[in-house]
Structure 1
Amino acid sequence: MLNESMFSSRTGEWETPQTFFDALDAEFHFTLDVCARPENAKCARFFTPEQDGLRQSWAGETCWMNPPYGREIGRWVEKAYNEARRGAVVVALLPARTDTRWWHRYVMRAAEIRFVEGRLKFGGAENSAPFPSVVVVFTPEKAVSDGPVVRSMRVK
């Protein structure tokens, strides 16, 4: 059974698996979780829904972003892209929705796209997610590019 606090179809919130996050944190050394709640924050510094990460500056930070996967996701991906242009590094865990407008407008202009092999088992879930996942890396150096580096990554 899926723990209500780990995922809600009403909010589209999926809790990042800790070991998955830890592997990326070892590589990127995150300073800010831009979409969190106190009970699931992955960084010491984080923005809650009340603080609204979409309204905050991320400039100069190395950000972790696992946004709500509902209708607002496009706004979060656009924000990640724009904040990278302002100097942030943003690493985002997203559903691999390659047919969406936000994917083509912003993800395809990221520095890197890492397709996750298999399906993630989000925090508190008994079963794997019903969708494929991707890690997208937005960097200041490549906020506007001809195309991202694309590769796959294994879930450990």
Structure 2
Amino acid sequence: MTAGRNNAEVLSQHWCTPPKYVDAIREFFAESVTLDPCSNRHSIVEATVEYSLPEIDGLSASWNYPTIFVNPPYGRDRERGTTIRDWLRKCTEAHVQHGVEVLALVPVATNTRHWKQYVFGAATAVSFLYDTRLRFLVNGRDSGKGAPMSCAMVYWGPQYERFEKIFVRFGAVVDVRHLHGKLIGTGEHLDLFKTVEN
């Protein structure tokens, strides 16, 4: 993942997935991450195929690979006009169109349209990570600073039980398949507060 913030110092930094999550991702995919579409020279994911800017734009290239890990830029890419919404859409499309398994490490934003549409509306499960502030590697090193937001590991694929078994170590795992096709956040499908009259 490369930073998507505005100042020159931060833009020159390469943000990478923390080792304990890389280990869990490898365990989940049985050591075979076939695509990392958001890689950089400091990444420790070591996917078979890695896309990194400026050589290859991971949003434009093919995602027809069996196992994909995505740690996308969290900010807006002004040059390309993209945001994290585009990455979550691509995760969903890859799963639906090619039947691939996708794991994505993303900021928790349950109030946003992209979470309602592509996570709650299309993913299999979410692990809401317990780390209060995830410590990404910056240019390959642990800077000691935590991310300014909570993060989650989102999964698109058929192996819910395996996902739960591996990622419950890191956070509460929620099966979101029952939300597919529902109007999320409108209250129209929730019966939680209705009273039952006999």
What displacement does 1:40 show? 1.8
Report how far residue 8 of structure 1 moved. Answer: 6.3
For 1:55 and 1:6, locate their aligned partners in 2 and report how far apart those are by CA, in whole Å. Answer: 16
2:31 is aligned with 1:47: no
Partner of 2:175: none
| Distance in 2 separating the partners of 1:23 and 1:138 | 16
The separation in 1 between residues aligned to 2:62 and 2:3, in whole angstroms, is 27
1:9 is aligned to 2:20: no
Partner of 2:88: 77
How many pairs does the alignment contain? 143
Structure 1 position 153, deviation (Å): 4.1
Contact 1:115–1:153 (8 Å) recurs in 2: no
Backbone CA RMSD of aligned residues = 2.6
Distance 1:6 1:127, change over 3 A: farther
Counterpart of 1:121?
135
Contact 1:116-1:135 within 8 A present in 2 as well? yes
Deviation (angstroms), 1:125 = 2.4
SS, match of residue 53 in structure 1 = coil
1:1-156 matches, within 5 Å, as: 9-10=5-6, 11=11, 14-28=15-29, 29-40=32-43, 42=45, 43-50=47-54, 51-71=56-76, 72-86=83-97, 87-108=99-120, 109-119=122-132, 120-123=134-137, 124-139=142-157, 141=158, 152-154=168-170
Distance in 2 separating the partners of 1:97 and 1:55: 24
Higher relative contact order (CA 8 A, sep 6+): 1
Unaligned ranges ≥5, structure 2: 77-82, 172-198
- Aligned residues with identical type, % of pairs: 30
Aligned-residue offset at 1:32: 1.0
Q: Which has the larger radius of gyration?
A: 2
CA deviations over 1:58-109 (Å, ceiling 9, x no partner)? 1242001000001311000000000101222110000001111110010012
What is the alpha-carbon distance in structure 1 between the residues aligned to residue 71 and residue 2 of structure 2?
12
- TM value normalised by structure 2: 0.64
The one-letter amino acid of 2:88's match is V
Question: Structure 1 unaligned runs (5+)?
Answer: 143-148
With structure 1 as the length reference, what TM-score do the two structures score?
0.80
Q: Distance in 2 between matches of 1:80 and 1:44?
A: 18
